[in-house]
Amino acid sequence: MGVRHSVEMTLDVGLGATLTPALFAGSVSQALDSLARAESGTYSLNAGEQNVVVDFGDVAQARLIWIDADGALEVTLGGTVGTVATLLGVGGTFPTAFTGGQAFSFKVDGVTVSGTFLSGDQSAAQCAQRLNSAAVLAGLAFLPFTVDGGQIRVSGANASLSGKVEVLTINAVLGFAALTSDLGTDPLIGSAPIQLRKPIDAAASSADGVYVYALLTAVTSSITLSSLETAKVTTVRVAIAGDVLT
């Protein structure tokens, strides 16, 4: 059994309040059971927020896309956001049995984070806290060390190929038994971004109540959203149906 989608759309364009003379009249009306999966969601984009990834759920390939928003929006089909560099410790032993003085040294996005553990640094959480304290002292504005599945993870904040994390001091107890490193990835631009803007002067008194919207029968496996607003949160609704039934 497929996902049913029903579309009823009418557009009339003309001169004057009565739409006379008519410049264009078009309509679409169809109901189909041709797609296998669907997903929908609501997203809140802060002013200027970029590259928010739309959740496709279990939809592998969209064929029908609906987007509406209460603010100006840029939609990119097929794009992917950049990723930060990250390394996860393997086989770390907790409690550590550290007696104090055990050295650590990492490089995170070009900043060296180094120091020594204290005798009280026994659990993974305590070790991550010690590492993050050293990261703050080194000048990082974020906390790169977390606990993931009982192991220490170190992640950068630069979501591009320039982002890099490195192990500079081997410490098998901590889960880093070799000098390893990882790079981030650059964002990939998909098809030319589509700018959805209100069809009215943005300064008009009625502009706040006007929505932007798009109905697309486009084939894509990813969508990213970016706010074009400079001073407001934009609420975006997205519905996706896809994966053609054969």
Listed by start position, the domains of the chain span 3-81+188-244, 86-183
| In CATH, 3-81+188-244 is 3.20.20.70 | no
For 202-243, write each residue's pLDDT tens digit.
888 888 899 999 999 998 888 999 999 999 999 999 999 999
Summarize pLDDT for 152-205 with one digit per residue, the tens: 999 999 988 999 999 999 999 999 999 999 999 887 766 678 999 999 998 888
CATH of 86-183 given 3.30.70, 3.10.20, 2.60.40, 3.30.1490: 2.60.40
Within 117-204, strands assigned E span: 145-148, 151-155, 164-167, 181-183, 194-196
**Using CA atoms, how far apart are residues 151 and 125, in angstroms rounded to an integer?**
9
Across the range 7-36, mean pLDDT stands at 92
Average pLDDT over residues 52-79: 93
CA dihedral 193, 195, 196, 198 (to 10 degrees): 180
H and E: helices and strands count for the chain: 1, 16
pLDDT band at 2 (very low <50, low <70, confident <90, very high): confident
- Fold identical between 3-81+188-244 and 86-183? no
Residues 124 and 151: beta-carbon distance below 8 Å: yes
pLDDT surpasses 90 at 43: yes
pLDDT at residue 191 in the model: 67
108 Cα distance to chain centroid: 21
